[in-house]
Structure 1
């Protein structure tokens, strides 16, 4: 080992999951009500960005990608997030029309995963959310060439400065034509609760021909 090198003993790194349990009788009637409950509990527990989720997509060649995005809508229709429609993730979604997203609530020893088909949200839904964004975030959406190689930080700052001048006299900033929301329409939603001895609780809602069904999975 070189002088000053820090070596992590990865095989010995583990956490004892003893925070809670999850039984069929604990679940809400619908997947979205259960997800809302866990989101509320994550917020109440003081977890950082409880609505952050890891979004997984696949390119046309099958090569996967994942990144963290923020959930901004939840109801019986699905789970919504917003992004640039010219981004890498949007290109993947337009090609495959499918995605998976996982909420990793480490502090509660929980995670929830939503998997299904995707659709773009309506322009009205996008506009309603856009109006609630901070002005700085709105300007950033206009300035950022998301997922495109840039020459350096300076080019980004220059682009933002140009956009700031463009909308300097505008009371409101319009929604960029290349920006909007995606909705994941779940076919499977799994709720995972860590338990002792790695005998975790895994309960999932699965959509079938006769509607939603709750199933328990082996850990």
Structure 2
């Protein structure tokens, strides 16, 4: 159920505060209200030539150090990331009528971190990822299922499937975070946070935006 915001129409319902704390608050409410995958987010990348592409991925870790997702680095998104280590994320929680946009540079997680997450997944998911040449042409689905069956025979339930070297994770470190809240009459509420300064003097500045 959507949580109503008790605030006057001419005032912002999005506080000028720590953007990571605000994300945690909204994300917690999304986990209670969204029927499926409250951690789903659109990931936008671009080629070195500037051609954009976007797809849905799942948030698998987050905090003040950034937002983590995992993928096959040989996929289209993986190749675009490796060629241009910056991206944008979008969370859209329809049940709450809220959005959060996050922009910033990417960095690859450590091999140990990727191993830990890969082996925390259900066995069938480990098999499916190891068998997939993600984004590459597939002549027939039976070819993929044959690969899955071969790996299931080699690595039965209860065993760890070796993480493919090209299956890894990336962390987006925010340089900007924008919060959007639906308001009556399409007079929506938007507040954008941006990092300003350099080195130890980095701090968040924020301002309201016209809807």
Answer whether TM exceeds 0.5 for this pair: yes
Is 1:116 aligned with 2:104?
Answer: yes
Distance 1:161 1:38, change over 3 A: same
Is 1:102 aligned with 2:94?
Answer: no
Give unmatched runs, 5+ long, in structure 2.
Answer: none
Asked if structure 1 preserves the Cα contact closer than 8 Å seen for 2:14 and 2:190, the reply is: no
Normalising by the residue count of structure 2, what TM-score does the alignment of the two structures yield?
0.89
Between the aligned partners of 1:199 and 1:35, the Cα distance in structure 2 is 22
Asked if structure 1 preserves the Cα contact closer than 8 Å seen for 2:176 and 2:193, the reply is: yes
Between the aligned partners of 2:119 and 2:88, the Cα distance in structure 1 is 27
Asked if structure 1 preserves the Cα contact closer than 8 Å seen for 2:14 and 2:179, the reply is: no
Is 1:31 aligned with 2:40?
Answer: no
Between the aligned partners of 1:205 and 1:66, the Cα distance in structure 2 is 23
3-state SS of the aligned residue for 2:135? coil
| 2:39 corresponding residue in structure 1 | 51
Is 1:156 aligned with 2:144?
Answer: yes
Q: How far is 1:26 from its partner?
A: 5.0
Asked if structure 2 preserves the Cα contact closer than 8 Å seen for 1:188 and 1:207, the reply is: yes
Q: How far is 1:92 from its partner?
A: 0.7
| 1:174 corresponding residue in structure 2 | 162
| 2:207 corresponding residue in structure 1 | 215
Is 1:69 aligned with 2:61?
Answer: no
Between the aligned partners of 1:56 and 1:176, the Cα distance in structure 2 is 24
Between the aligned partners of 1:102 and 1:167, the Cα distance in structure 2 is 36
Between the aligned partners of 1:189 and 1:58, the Cα distance in structure 2 is 19
Between the aligned partners of 2:116 and 2:13, the Cα distance in structure 1 is 36
